[in-house]
Amino acid sequence: MNTAHPHDDHCTDHSTDHSADLLGDQSGDLVIDGFTTRSVEVAEGVHLRVDLSHEPSAPDRPTTAVVLLHGFPQTRHMWRHVAPLLADEHFVLCPDLRGYGASGKPAASTPDVYAKRTMAADVIALADALGVQRFVVVGHDRGAHVAFRAALDHPGRVSHLAGLDVLPTVETWDVLHGAQAAVAFHLYLMAQPPGLPEAMIRGSADAFFGHFLDAWTRDPAAIPAPVREHYLRASREAIDSIVADYRALAGIDVEHDLASRAGGERLRMPVTVLQQDWGAQLGFDAAALWRSWAPDLQHVTTAAGHFMAEEAPGEVVEVIRALARRSGRW
């Protein structure tokens, strides 16, 4: 998990020091207090915008890396409370995922453009560009699906994995049935062929994305008005790519996960899952579903809402710190 010198030809520095966690540039891109911001090329024509706790080559700074991957309908700014608390002990990287926020949004010309395998490869390329060999990866919601695939495809690079409020892809679909599946209506909407979902969402984008920010939050104060507007703006500017990401979850991502399961692939690193007790509400054993993929699992439930990194950042930080201290069994 040590870092070396970054490959500067892939990186563009966009900022140096920030005095408040709600500062942003003229595009509405918010930055994390005390972090620097770069744009890093991770594939041909695709750049990820990433906030860094410090320069990788900075002397006397932590070199153990933690990569934080955001969820929906959010950006890397969801880590604004968690990331600074980790920065004393870790080199912290917070990218916007492909298709989200200030990162590149390539057209979904083929199903694999927004496959989690492709998005996981972006994370590996980001680590390469910054000289990071091994890292802890923490994903929330969409980011957890990317982190899951990164850990399966690149076990030599991912030392520890944390997933926040999510199930693996195949299990996500398996547990949804009957009227209770209405809670996940957006999964079914965005799984439809291109055209109709994008048009429907574009017709009322703020209402659509705002619904999730409101319905999934137990403490509305956790997402203050400027942050909420940032999320809404970022999402309505990324409708096509967000839908393509979700469409992949119902197609190519299922294919990849079924192939991995059939091939006996498992998460061989320490894994922690922190989530709401959805199993009790929908009638499934979340820990058992995760353990089928992750033999070295710690499963923790929280009283916080879906946006737990903003509602309960201290709890999330302690979970990540505890995970990073665990030694692998494999």
Tens of pLDDT along 292-320?
999 999 999 999 999 999 999 999 999 99
Predicted confidence band of residue 28 (pLDDT cuts 50, 70, 90): low
Give me the domains of the chain, ranges plus CATH numbers: 8-325 (3.40.50.1820)
**Residues facing residue 94 across a β-bridge:** 51
Give the span between the Cα atoms of 80 and 96, in whole angstroms.
13
**DSSP run (H or E) holding 65:** strand 65-69
**HSE (CB half, 13 Å, CA atoms) of 172?**
23
Asked whether the predicted pLDDT for residue 117 surpasses 80, the reply is yes
> Which segments of the chain does DSSP mark as H helices, in order?
82-86, 116-129, 142-153, 169-175, 185-190, 196-203, 205-215, 225-236, 239-249, 252-262, 278-282, 286-291, 308-311, 313-325
- Nearest by Cα to 151 from 141, 142, 139: 139
For residue range 70-116, what is the model confidence (pLDDT) as tens digits?
Answer: 999 999 999 999 999 999 999 999 999 999 999 999 999 999 999 99
Residue 77 annotated among the catalytic residues of the structure: no
- SS3 helix, strand, coil % of the chain, rounded to 5? 45, 15, 40
Q: 205 versus 284: which is more confidently predicted?
A: 205
- Looking at 18, 140, 230, 306, which residue is catalytic? 306
Give the span between the Cα atoms of 41 and 33, in whole angstroms.
23
- Nearest by Cα to 231 from 215, 211, 246, 210: 210
- Looking at 96, 141, 245, 253, which residue is catalytic? 141
Asked whether the predicted pLDDT for residue 17 surpasses 90, the reply is no
Asked whether the predicted pLDDT for residue 118 surpasses 70, the reply is yes
For residue range 119-156, what is the model confidence (pLDDT) as tens digits?
Answer: 999 999 999 999 999 999 999 999 999 999 999 999 99
- The residue type at 34: G
Instruction: Note the pTM of the prediction, 2 decimals.
Output: 0.91
* Average per-residue pLDDT for the chain: 90
Give the span between the Cα atoms of 303 and 68, in whole angstroms.
21
Q: What angle do CA 304, 306, 270 make, to 5 degrees?
A: 85
Residue 141 annotated among the catalytic residues of the structure: yes
Give the span between the Cα atoms of 238 and 244, in whole angstroms.
10
Q: Among 9-18, 41-50, 293-302, whose mean pLDDT is lowest?
A: 9-18
- 180: its two tokens: 């209770």
Give the number of other CB atoms < 10 A from CB of residue 242. Answer: 26
Asked whether the predicted pLDDT for residue 23 surpasses 60, the reply is no
Asked whether the predicted pLDDT for residue 14 surpasses 60, the reply is no
What radius of gyration, in Å, describes the C-alpha atoms of the chain? 18
Give the span between the Cα atoms of 68 and 93, in whole angstroms.
6
Running DSSP on this structure, what letter comes out for residue 97? P
pLDDT at residue 327, as a whole number: 85
Burial (CB count within 10 angstroms: exposed 0-12, middle 13-18, buried 19+), residue 246: buried
